[in-house]
Amino acid sequence: MLTELFHQTHRALAYLGASYDECRGMETTLSLCWFTPGWMYFGHVGDSRIYYWSARERTLRQLTQDDTHVGWLLRNGKITEWEARSHPGKHVLQKALGGGNVYVDPQVGAVGCEPGDRFLLCTDGLSEGLYGASLEDEVIRPVDAAAADRLVEASLVRSGRDNTTALLVEIA
């Protein structure tokens, strides 16, 4: 179902791009979560990210892969995380919805979850400013109405320069 949602969204954006000059070439990333009792299903295209923090294991892991050439280089051991963070092409997407992309192959998956687990959905600006241990330190802080704002502020202070957006969800 999530794959079909991504395909329909892609077709609609491509149609808008072909129909209106001001929308020509328009493309976007999309990361989404669908929560059901005990499970979180996700879909992803682009360089925004979804992270999962397990309350039981006390670990943070990135669920989605960046759809960039630099992301591919990193996943395949061709460059280090430090080289990826400073690579001049790190924001050049290989996959996006809309634009001139003929076909979209979203990453979809599911994660079992329990009370206390947390999911962070964020744009690349947040993961650029916060990464590794500093990201995990922020995610494990108490969750309240201002938690996402604190993540964005911490990222901007540490050098986040791109669009910076965060949504932090804790399973009750």
Mean residue pLDDT of the chain comes to 91
Q: What is the pLDDT of residue 71?
A: 93
Q: In CATH, what number does 2-167 get?
A: 3.60.40.10
Q: In this structure, is the dihedral angle defined by the CA atoms of residues 65, 164, 56 and 81, taken in order, positive or negative?
A: positive
User: Hey, where are the domains in the chain?
Assistant: 2-167
- Which of the pair, 58 or 154, is modelled with greater confidence? 58
> What is the pLDDT at residue 158?
80
- Report the sign of the C-alpha dihedral through residues 14, 18, 20, 23, in that order: positive
| Residues 167, 118 contacting (CB under 8 angstroms) | no
pLDDT tens digit sequence for 72-117: 999 999 999 889 888 998 889 999 999 888 889 999 999 999 999 9
Has this prediction a pTM greater than 0.85? Answer: yes
Cα separation of the two ends of the chain: 25
Q: Spell 139-154 as b/e; 16+ CB within 10 A means b.
A: beeeeeeebbebbbbb
pLDDT tens digits for range 138-150: 888 888 888 889 8
- DSSP state at residue 104: -
